[in-house]
Structure formats: C-alpha cells, structure tokens
Amino acid sequence: MKKDEPPLEFPDTLEGFEYSFNEKGQLRHAKTGEPFVFNYREDLHRWNQKRYEALGEIITKHVYGLLEKECHLKKVTLPVDATENEPKSFIFMSEDALTNPDKLLVLIHGNGVVRAGQWARRLIINEDLDSGTQIPYIKKATEEGYGVIVLNPNENYIEVEKTKAQVQLSSDSSDEPAEKRERKDKIQKETKKRRDFYEKYRNPQKEKETMQMYIRDNGSPEEHAIYVWDHFISQSAAENVFFVAHSYGGLAFVELMIQRETEVKNKVTAVALTDSVHNVWHQEAGKTIREWMRENCCNWVSSSEPLDTSVESMLPDCPRVSAGTERHELTSWKSFPSIFKFFSEAMEAKNSSVKPAPTRRSNRIKYEEL
C-alpha cells in the first residue's frame, strides 16, 4: 500500500538538519557522529532527493561564508552595472586580485549544481571540505603571493514563481501545432511513467511552478567566463595569470581563448585543466590556439596510473597526465600539489626566457609530439 508523501519542507540551516563540519572538515550528524544518510526515509525516493538538494543549498551558502571569512575574499556583483531590480550574479576576489603586479590565480569549476568555491557537492557532503572545495587552492595561492578570482559560471539565472496567469498560459497549448502537442503529450506520459515507478506513495506533494530569469551577459558558463575576463582579469595588473579549470570549466576556458585569443596569449602564463571536457575539434579551435595549448596547458585526467604519468591523447591540444585517481570529481584535489609546481616552473621558464623542458613537472611526464 502506498504512503502519503511528507511535505517537501526542510530546514534552512545545518543546525536544523542536525549536521555540522568537524575539525577535519567532514560533515557529521550532531548526535550520532555518522556521515550523511541519503535514504533517510525508505521508499520515498523523491522526498530523499529533495532533502539532499535542500542540504546542498545550505552547503553552497556555507562555502560562500568560508570564502569570505576563512579565505578573506570579497563578493563582487555581476553585471558590474546592474540595476536594482535586474537578476544578478557574483564572483569572489581577493583584495589584491586587480592590483597584484606579479601573479593572479583564476578558478573555474565544472557544470551542474556546484557554485563558486566548490569542485563537487558530493565530495563536500560525503568526503570533506578539502577535497570538494577550492579552499585549499585559495589558501595555497594566498600563501604564495597570488591574487585570486573565483568564478561562478553556473549562476546563470534566478528562479521566480509563476503567477496563476503564467501557469495557465504555459499549460494552454491550443495554439500549438498538433504535432508539437503530440510530442509534448508523449513526453508528459513518459515522465509520469518514470515518476510512478520511483514514487511509491499516493498524494505526492505538488511543487511550485517557476520560471527562469537569465542574468545579463552571464547566461551560460561560456558567457560568464568571457564577461569576467573582459571586466576583471584583462584589467588586472598581474604579469602572470594562471587558470585552474575543472571539467566543463575547461570547455569554458577554450571558448574564452577562441573569443579572446590575442589577449589570453599575452596575459596567461599557464593553464591547469582537471579532467576537462573541452574538445578542440567540436569547438573549432584554430591551429594557433592548439599550438599555444600544447605549450602552456596540461590536463590532469582521471586514470589508474600514478600521479603525473603521461596519458595518451587522441586530440592535438594539450598534454594529458594522470591525476592519480579514477574518480572524475577528485581530479582537482588529487592533482593539487602538481599543479602549483607546474605554475612555478612555467613562471620560471617565462622569466628566464627559456622554453620549459618536456619533463619539467615530473620525471614521469613526457610530452608527445601531437
């Protein structure tokens, strides 16, 4: 017999969830000391998922707080000329991000639910803050004299609840062609079938219908990267700009190169990609971009090989080396020490006007002629 679904109402603080981060940065239950449990209520898949998402939103705000309090970064609103009533996003910057004459580190996470300061929400909840957030990178960069800019490429729109008139308008498809209505009906039936399979209860809670209001000039990760480049990174005083871009962040960086090739080449010293999903063919990156990437980028990819071991590439872009893990979401954390060595050696090579040797990061790394 099906159960009634409980209300989709959840606490809005970690304390309300009865969780907190311990001294090791691990999320633990306040009373039992146990890690987070996804299946909090048996046979209530959607409710458990909504609970997990609600906790994820709290984690996002918690990380924002750590960026400001522990890393001493400031929040900067986007667009820079935003009016009071328009949708807004933001990034985080160190106080010296635009004035540091020497080094600037730019961090770009991947696609999905993650926001500024995170690599992977799943790691933050199930592992710890060090592996799941960008905080170790920010602290290390600060110690080594870098300015820091943390991008927020997934904050592309705000959601607002639809009015009754808008709900009625969206559900009224009388003006649509018959073929389009049939496709829509088919999709709705398939969705209902999946929902009935997963949800083992009657009277499911109805969710509010929302609409998306996109943020001007920041409506996609690619747009966001270009906007932050134009208004901040390109205006910075740093002689050496370094990027760390994870997963879809790598694709956003390649798109930035395509749109601002000359500027990027003049400003950026080295780029560390971590399991990047960019594709120089699909993105139609030109020969000069591919050549620059071979010289100045390295992609730490998920692999069973030891850290920094050369990994064969099918594409003619940058060298690929092992991140020392087969888990995609862990590649940024596992390659952390190697990436800062890579940056230091790239800057030394630039300052001495000598091209870096093929094995400069590790005796195991070998560049291949592509």
pLDDT at position 176 is 56
Alpha carbon of 35 to those of 219, 278, 348, 363: distances in Å? 36, 34, 44, 39
Alpha carbon of 184 to those of 164, 166, 318: distances in Å? 21, 18, 43
Q: How far, in Å, CA of 309 to CA of 223, rounded?
A: 34
Q: How many CB atoms lie within 10 A of CB 41?
A: 13
pLDDT at position 6 is 78
* pTM, entire model: 0.85
Per-residue pLDDT at 366 exceeds 60: no
21: CB partners within 8 A, 6+ apart: 14, 27, 28, 62, 129
* Two structure tokens written together for 209: 């219908």
Closest by Cα among 336, 120, 104, 112 to 242: 104
Q: Which amino acid is at 40?
A: Y
Q: Are 365 and 359 in contact (CB under 8 A)?
A: yes
Question: DSSP secondary-structure letter at 330?
Answer: G
For the CA atoms of 275, 152, 138, 338, the dihedral, rounded to the nearest 10 degrees, stands at 10
Average pLDDT over residues 163-191: 58
**What is the CA 150 to chain-centroid distance, rounded?**
10
Residues with catalytic roles: 247
Q: How far, in Å, CA of 270 to CA of 49, rounded?
A: 39
Determine which of 44-48, 59-63, 93-97 has the lowest per-residue pLDDT on average.
44-48
pLDDT at position 349 is 92
Per-residue pLDDT at 172 exceeds 80: no
| pLDDT tens track for 330-357 | 999 999 999 999 999 999 999 886 444 4
Cis peptide preceding 204, ω within 30 of 0: no
If phi over 0 gives left and psi between -120 and 50 gives alpha, with beta otherwise, what is residue 154?
alpha
Per-residue pLDDT at 360 exceeds 70: no
Closest by Cα among 115, 124, 135, 121 to 35: 124
pLDDT at position 338 is 98
Q: Please, which pLDDT band fits residue 198 given cuts at 50, 70 and 90?
A: very low
Say if residue 321 is exposed, middle or buried (CB neighbours under 10 Å; 0-12, 13-18, 19+): buried
Per-residue pLDDT at 42 exceeds 50: yes
If phi over 0 gives left and psi between -120 and 50 gives alpha, with beta otherwise, what is residue 265?
alpha
* Two structure tokens written together for 50: 């909504």
SS3 191: helix
Average pLDDT over residues 240-268: 98
* End-to-end C-alpha distance for the chain, whole angstroms: 62
Question: DSSP secondary-structure letter at 243?
Answer: E
Average pLDDT over residues 258-274: 98
Task: Give the residue with greater pLDDT, 96 vs 5.
Answer: 96
Q: How far, in Å, CA of 288 to CA of 294, rounded?
A: 10
pLDDT at position 359 is 37
Task: Give the residue with greater pLDDT, 57 vs 196.
Answer: 57
| pLDDT tens track for 280-332 | 989 999 999 999 999 999 999 999 999 999 999 877 789 999 999 999 999 99
Closest by Cα among 291, 255, 307 to 108: 255
